[in-house]
With several copies, the nearest count.
Chain A
């Protein structure tokens, strides 16, 4: 029953046709929100009295950090859907999300490093969150290279999904162990965990950038999924019609 339902509504064809309806709407709202908040954040918030202007990189760093993990969770859900109900569309999502997840994680790492230079005086610290973000980045790389190494897509999908799920089990473990490692760390003088509460003047544009960034990334994922459909189902007549 459930299977039939899912298959009907999660067919690549339905997806492709629906996406075009919503795509433009999502794209323009999020773009507007993002641009608005970033202009607000960059130009109209006061200088932080400790960090000076360097805090403004937060508007890139925080949304990226936030998304790097959310995207992994999205992949894990899609993978499970694929393995359990054999929904092809779910498999397309997984591989469509992977490079985007890697990209946002990379942005989080780089922007964090850049931010670290003025604030911590160093671009790298074996801090809990940083370490686990780094591990997450390695996981994304592993996922992408695994999928790239197969020419048989069905096989690649199946193996990728298994790996994503194993990795998902692993994420809380990584978090736990890494946290635990640093909390016992005598010299953990700087952590991201105990933040002074943020000034609302900065908070609202931050929330705005997070939402906007989120929407933009969703658009990216939609495009990338569409692309997957074209690659995989290029011989189907309806794809030819569509193009």
Chain B
């Protein structure tokens, strides 16, 4: 465990009903580093992320996190309230008073739809709204589960640029993606 390590995993294994998902995984993530977790569908990428987050408990092994580290997480599910408007969801995510909110609403061209209920938004618009959580994050570590799903090319590029920038600023990033992207990252391949 080096000094600027954000997160360290030591020989973690995970089994479901005696089926091994992965075995004796170890890795370390330092500031400014990105880790891309790869693997086939069902190989356990999302499960690994949830273990890192501390939601799921590994069958064996341990996760060490830097003291009082804040994590920004976006999973397969958007954590949006589909019956509320975009504006209310932003309020719920407590991003209403964020000073860069306006900038990103413009960038993602969401501004026009602020008063549309989330369930009426297009798939990609919902994803973009969920990504506001990432764009406006104040955490040291980002954990993103397939953040590029459903985004059009322009938004894809914006997200890539943003994440690359965050890395330069010394944040940590762990993510999965089946879509190729240009973020410079180590990869960890799960084989099952």
Contact = CB atoms under 8 A, between A and B. Distances in A.
Contacts of B16: 152, 154
A152 B120 CA distance: 8
Interface in B90-127: 115-117, 120
A189 interface: no
A48 to B, nearest CB: 52
Contact of A232 (B17, B115, B120): B17
B68 interface: no
A34 B126 CA distance: 53
A235 B18 CA distance: 7
Interface in A149-183: 151-154
Interface in A209-235: 232-235
Contacts of B17: 152-154, 232
B89 interface: no
B120 A235 contact: no
A236 interface: yes
Nearest to A235: B18
Contacts of B120: 151-152
A234 B18 contact: yes
B13 to A, nearest CB: 14
Contacts of B115: 151
A235 B17 CA distance: 9
Interface in B1-51: 16-19
A65 B16 CA distance: 38
A154 B17 CA distance: 7
Interface in A130-151: 151
B59 to A, nearest CB: 9
A151 B18 CA distance: 13
B85 interface: yes
A154 B116 CA distance: 14
A151 B19 contact: no
Nearest to A236: B18
Contacts of A154: 16-17
Nearest to A149: B83
Nearest to A150: B117
B18 A233 contact: yes
Contacts of B85: 151
A95 B87 CA distance: 25
A152 B59 CA distance: 14
Contacts of B116: 151
A104 to B, nearest CB: 29
Nearest to B118: A151
A206 to B, nearest CB: 44
A127 B148 CA distance: 63
A171 B117 CA distance: 33
10 contacts: A151-B85, A151-B115, A151-B117, A151-B120, A152-B16, A152-B120, A153-B17, A154-B16, A233-B18, A235-B19
Q: Which 9 A-B pairs have the closest CB atoms?
A: A151-B117, A235-B18, A153-B17, A151-B116, A151-B120, A233-B18, A152-B120, A152-B16, A152-B17
Given A152-B16, A235-B19, 9 more contacts: A151-B115, A151-B120, A152-B120, A153-B17, A154-B17, A232-B18, A233-B18, A234-B18, A236-B18
Interface of A: 151-154, 232-236
